[in-house]
Structure 1
Amino acid sequence: MIKVLHTSDWHLGNTFEGISREDDHHFFLNWLIQELIEKKIDVLIIAGDIFDQPQPSAEAHKIYFQFLFQVSQKTDVKKVIIVGGNHDSPSRLDAPAELLKLLDVFVVGGMNSDFSSLSRYICPIINEHNHIELVVAAVPFIHEYRLGVRTVFQSEKEIQLSFKEKLTALYKNLADEAEFMAKGAPLLATGHLACVGCDNDDAPLEVHRVGTLGGLSPDIFDSRFSYIALGHIHRAYHVENSKAYYCGSPLPLSVKESKQTRYVQVVTFTDQKLKEQLPLIEKIAVPLRRKIHELKGTLDSVLYQIENLTWDTIAPPILCLQIDVDMYYAGMDFEIRRKINSYFSKEAPMIASIKQNLIQLNNALKENDSNYFSLKDLTTEQVFIKMCENQNQNVDEELLNAFRSLLSEEIL
């Protein structure tokens, strides 16, 4: 028996509206170490987006390397397999790869355009008897250009077809290489891409210029792979009619994600002699250190919600506030923060954003019961306010007076 833990989309170094998630990542990774020990995990797979930015901070790097060292010292994990995501810098991930081999860490930051030798992407898992138990094809995020897909003078349908054909051929060739090495052991592959079943809220951005998110069919994956560990989509789900799974991000990175349970996935191969076997799959809920809540309503209503706020996590939540107002109130941020300090004697919720929604303007825009409106129906000041709202910019009387001053000068 061999047990694999599949996780992805850590986004180390991430901040939410300027609020650091460092403590949240420490909490998750400490929990993960314990899971690796208690579940007796043999292989840990991190399917991309380890970091939030291509040039992560020194602190994000420190968290990353400390975790890998702890895995090597505290657990019985035989191999950690890391592939790059669209948020990661392939060269930065690959730079310490030779050194990380000493910790039994196998890293593939990116793929180059030369697919003549695929052995670099194949990782065998070998037991204490020197027998191969599992073979992993470690596939990172691949830009379509690397696959030879060209978008110039091509229709969207032609681009999608070309991309699908190239990916299908890649996974087939990797399966050939892995099968030759496996000698009957099961095969597993990774990927960092968007498959069918996801929507625009499931990931921060589209990763390929091949049409809408979720356009990739699961038949790109070779049937010889018993499990495909995917990253990029932040929601955990099974890709229909396939052996491909997303485990989702372990930390909520938005209000919507905070409403969904976060998971890692344990994949158990019960008999290494049956390469066609379907593994046992168990979703493990990730405990959260804190959540992200969105509160809406009038100022009094929102303050009442804050005063009566409760939480089931060890740390109070991060709050995103949407306040309905008749006119913009310059001192609202100060008043809300002062009230919060009076409500909570110990740790208080953190305010990520306070957005004032002008009711008069909203009502004016809804007069025709339509989602669309014409600029000619708005005053210059209303257009300015609407543009500020679209940029998440709070509009107070000071800003409006400055705008009115400029507008008056323009008219003169």
Structure 2
Amino acid sequence: MLRLFHTADWHLGHNLHGISRHLEHQLFLDWLLLELQNKQADALIVAGDIFDSANPSAAAQTQLYDFLVKARTQQPALNIVLIGGNHDSASRLDAPSSILDALGVTVVGGLVRDDGVINWDRLLVPLSNAAGDSKVWCGAMPFLRNADLRADDQEDEPLIAGVKALYTELFTALQAKATQGEALILTGHCYMVNGCVSELSERKILGGNQHALPVELFPKDIAYVALGHLHLAQKVGANEHIRYSGSPIPLSFDESHYQHQVLQVDIKKDQPVETVAIKIPRSIDLLRIPNSKDFAALSTVLEQLEAMDFNDDLPPEQRPLVELRIKLEKPEPGLRQQVEEVIAKLPVRLLKISTAYSGSNKSLADITIEERLEELQPLDVFQRCYQNKFDQEAPENMNTLFNELLENFRAKQ
């Protein structure tokens, strides 16, 4: 048997409305080290979006490399595989690969071509258990950018066809490496058909949401597929062996209502894989009041806030982060002052005040929520600019071209 831990979407270096998540990430990584050791894991796969941006801070990079050194020091036989995601810079991840290889860590930031031919060997990773009597071959496919695909214009869905062609080549290379009885697994950082997305999960990563990938992408002989990109842990359709692990911490208030996890995957010869969700303890609470996407009057919101039972003994850096969602009939110049007078008495940190104006003749369906620029994805900004200038929605081919331009820009960072 080989025991694999599957996680993804760490987003090291993430900030939420100006608040660093460094402490939460560090507490998660410390917890993960203990779980790897206590559960006697043989391998760890991180399925993309290691960092929150293509140009991560020195602190975020140090956090990653410190973890890798500690993991390999406490478990010298632990196999570690990292793949690049759409938030990562492929070249930045790949840059220290020779050093990390010596440490026993495999990094595949992006596809590399030698004279136009993809170097598949660097994506073929043998995984063994501590006893050396169980071997699994991993096809470490990173996030695929438009430049990686050989789109055939004759196909109805050329981008999907391009992705499928690459996975077919990888699978063929895996089969050539594996001997009889050795299990095969794949990784991916992508959006699958019917995947449940969250606020920060970028669904338009292959030129448009219509290009969500079908489950037929993965051959039936694959024992397990470790996916990243969607922040909510979920299986793909009814397939128990094709899964998103989800992110380890909530990256927005929209992601705070469910339990985050890593997946323990036990791979046994000639048997279906067994998966166990290991719940990650929440180190810092994210509280949305009201506890839904609804808005409420200021008095109601403050009453709910004051009625909550908070831990007064928490250090300031671990106090809950709070978003208040307040419905107003008209602008209230003294709103923040009223809120801060209440907040000052409580062991919480006010992160955001969201306001909505219902108006005397508007229903809740007509409420317009104020949004901050940093909460919008680049495509959202482009679409709004197009709408303002031309008084109509941007056509789909324009959205696709914008996505391609953005991906090319990120690939060069």
| Fold-level similarity (TM above 0.5) | yes
Q: Give the conservation status (yes or no) of the 8 Å contact 1:328–1:356.
A: no
| Correspondences of 1:4-403 after superposition (within 5 Å) | 4-112=4-112, 114-126=116-128, 133-149=135-151, 158=156, 160=157, 162-184=158-180, 185-201=182-198, 203-212=200-209, 215-242=212-239, 243-271=241-269, 274=270, 277-295=271-289, 296-310=295-309, 315-342=318-345, 344=346, 348-360=347-359, 363-366=360-363, 389-391=370-372
Instruction: Rate the CA distance shift 1:54–1:229 in 2: closer, same or farther, 3 A.
Output: same
Q: In the alignment, residue 261 of structure 1 is paired with which amino acid? A: Q
Quote the offset at 1:301 in angstroms.
1.6
Instruction: Rate the CA distance shift 1:132–1:147 in 2: closer, same or farther, 3 A.
Output: farther
Quote the offset at 1:284 in angstroms.
1.0
Partner of 1:398: none
**TM-score normalised by the chain length of structure 2:** 0.80
Q: Give the conservation status (yes or no) of the 8 Å contact 1:41–1:77.
A: no
Quote the offset at 1:234 in angstroms.
0.7
| 3-state DSSP of counterpart to 1:357 | strand
Unaligned runs of 5+ in 1: 373-385, 394-412
| 3-state DSSP of counterpart to 2:162 | helix
| 3-state DSSP of counterpart to 1:164 | helix
Quote the offset at 1:247 in angstroms.
0.7
CA distance in 2, matches of 1:289, 1:216: 34
Quote the offset at 1:73 in angstroms.
1.3
Quote the offset at 1:333 in angstroms.
1.8
| 3-state DSSP of counterpart to 1:267 | strand
| 3-state DSSP of counterpart to 1:287 | coil
Q: In the alignment, residue 86 of structure 2 is paired with which amino acid? A: N
Higher mean C-alpha displacement, 34-43 vs 104-113: 104-113
Q: Deviations over 1:170-218 (max 9, x none)?
A: 2222122222222121111100000022144365322434442672101
Q: Deviations over 1:109-159 (max 9, x none)?
A: 011454443111101124567666111100000013311227xxx69x83x
| 3-state DSSP of counterpart to 2:281 | coil
Q: Give the conservation status (yes or no) of the 8 Å contact 1:45–1:82.
A: yes
Higher mean C-alpha displacement, 348-357 vs 127-136: 127-136
Q: Deviations over 1:83-113 (max 9, x none)?
A: 0000000011001111111221000001145
CA distance in 1, matches of 2:218, 2:310: 42
Unaligned runs of 5+ in 2: 290-294, 375-413
% identity of equivalent residues: 30
Higher mean C-alpha displacement, 36-45 vs 121-130: 121-130
Q: Give the conservation status (yes or no) of the 8 Å contact 1:197–1:214.
A: no
Higher mean C-alpha displacement, 171-180 vs 27-36: 171-180
Q: Give the conservation status (yes or no) of the 8 Å contact 1:324–1:359.
A: yes
How many residues are paired up? Answer: 361
CA distance in 2, matches of 1:46, 1:281: 16
Higher mean C-alpha displacement, 8-17 vs 124-133: 124-133
Instruction: Rate the CA distance shift 1:370–1:332 in 2: closer, same or farther, 3 A.
Output: closer
| 3-state DSSP of counterpart to 2:370 | helix
| 3-state DSSP of counterpart to 1:149 | coil
